[in-house]
Amino acid sequence: MLGRRQFIGGAAGLGAVGFFGFNAGCGGGGSATEWVVGSYLSLTGGEAKFGADTKDGIELAVEEINAAGGVKGKKIKVLFEDNKGQVSEVTNKVQQLIDRDKVVALLGEVASSRSEPAAVIASKKGIPMISPSSTNKVVTEGKDFAFRVCFVDEFQGKMGAEFCVKTLGKKKIGIAFAEDDLYSNGLAGEFRKAVKELGGEIVGEAKFTQNEMNFTTFAKELKASGAEMIYAPIYYKQMVQLGRHAKEEGITGNMWLGSDGWSGEQALLDELEGAYFTDHHAPDLPWEPSKKFVAAYEAKFKRKPSSLAAMGYDAAGVLADAIKRAKEDTPKGIRDAIAETKDFPGASGVITIGPDRNAQKPIVVSQIRGKEAHYADVRGPGAEKLLGGATPPAAAQLTAEPSATASA
């Protein structure tokens, strides 16, 4: 069981320090010597991988920023709280961080169902919150102090549908999703709508609960549907099991298209060779800030970063940049500076915060090859910068891939 952890960053990769470009200066606010930031993450429970990866990214960014002198002459100190993957714990932890610890800002969460109640509290109490990777629209809607550095599901669903129908040329599509989960159900709806607008057909849907782990019947239904491609916007734990049961029915890896909920789980990469999924980042992107982040992350943690680590890194970077630019060293001043973020060079791409407090940025389509996630395509605002002039690998790969259907 993990309790609160306090981290004050130390020295880290100097290349990435140069990327953030923070220097000591004069300023006030917070405590006399540090900016106290709160982070509430699922460090234990069924989605602990999400929280652990995000925490690693935040920690790396803060170490780099502090090694470069901090912000306005102060170091950043992050208090990490474990919400155990439970909404009730989110409420308790966020209130403690604000009322007891007097944080100037909040970072977290990954799951939209846990970010939304935190956003309500943060906005009510006037504390800015940045979600690294919660994509459902409700997280920021009507919550003036809530922001995100990731794309939203309307965009993710549309880009996934375009890749499926236009790039892959698949017209008959199935969907597998958890209908009682805010993220999964919402993203399935956005994808369904976009597929129909593009002239595709939804030939079958497998609906289950977020706690379901026996997918034998659902796999049979998907096979019988005759789908050429199956969209599964679910979290990695369920997808590993669904993929295994579907394989028994002859549904191969290259017939799957997933979402960012797949990110970071090696068991999924081992199981679904050839599958695609929309995501925030891929370690092999040619974007220079990404290269620097990946090198620094590998040096510190001795492994490649997941996209959630990249998003934690970017969330901390955007916050520090806002503190640096804030006209007032108060939560309100920081909030206003976050809202004015424009063309921030994050590891996951160029980030601009729009008037809806959501990030305007590109989306990555990754493919599982050799039990690793490799970028296959990049779409949306700033895609050309993220590609650095390179041609997306998808165009060449797709011509060589065998076609298949679930009923084949």
162's enclosing H/E stretch is helix 153-162
Confidence of residue 46 (pLDDT cuts 50, 70, 90): confident
Give me the pLDDT at residue 397, please.
56
pLDDT tens for 286-297 read 999 999 999 999
Give me the pLDDT at residue 284, please.
95
Give me the pLDDT at residue 6, please.
43
Confidence of residue 389 (pLDDT cuts 50, 70, 90): confident
Q: Tell me how far apart the alpha carbons of residues 136 and 133 are, in angstroms, rounded to a whole number.
A: 9
Instruction: Quote the pTM value.
Output: 0.89
> DSSP 3-state assignment of 217?
helix
- Average pLDDT, stretch 142-167? 97
- Average pLDDT, stretch 242-269? 94
Confidence of residue 301 (pLDDT cuts 50, 70, 90): very high
Whether the Cβ atoms of residue 347 and residue 289 lie closer than 8 Å to each other = yes
- Average pLDDT, stretch 366-374? 94
Q: Tell me how far apart the alpha carbons of residues 205 and 237 are, in angstroms, rounded to a whole number.
A: 19
Share of the chain above pLDDT 90, in %: 84
| DSSP label of 175 | E
Structure tokens at 338: 């976050």
pLDDT tens for 192-229 read 999 999 999 999 999 999 999 999 999 999 999 999 99
Give me the pLDDT at residue 406, please.
56
Q: Tell me how far apart the alpha carbons of residues 90 and 69 are, in angstroms, rounded to a whole number.
A: 32
pLDDT at 281 exceeding the cut of 80? yes
pLDDT tens for 9-30 read 433 333 333 444 433 333 334 5
Give me the pLDDT at residue 396, please.
47
Phi/psi of residue 399, nearest 5 degrees:
-65, -20
**Class of domain 5-151+286-361 (CATH, top level):** alpha beta
Where do you find CATH 3.40.50.2300 in the chain? 5-151+286-361, 153-279+364-398
Identify the burial level of 84 via C-beta atoms within 10 angstroms of its C-beta, where 0-12 means exposed, 13-18 middle and 19 or more buried: buried
Give me the pLDDT at residue 305, please.
96
- Average pLDDT, stretch 315-344? 99
Structure tokens at 312: 């934690």
Give me the pLDDT at residue 12, please.
34
Residues with Cβ within 8 Å of 243's Cβ and at least 6 positions away in sequence, in order, are 253, 256, 268, 271, 272, 275
Q: Tell me how far apart the alpha carbons of residues 11 and 67 are, in angstroms, rounded to a whole number.
A: 5
Give me the pLDDT at residue 87, please.
94
pLDDT at 8 exceeding the cut of 50? no
Give me the pLDDT at residue 14, please.
30
Assign a CATH topology to domain 153-279+364-398. Answer: Rossmann fold (3.40.50)
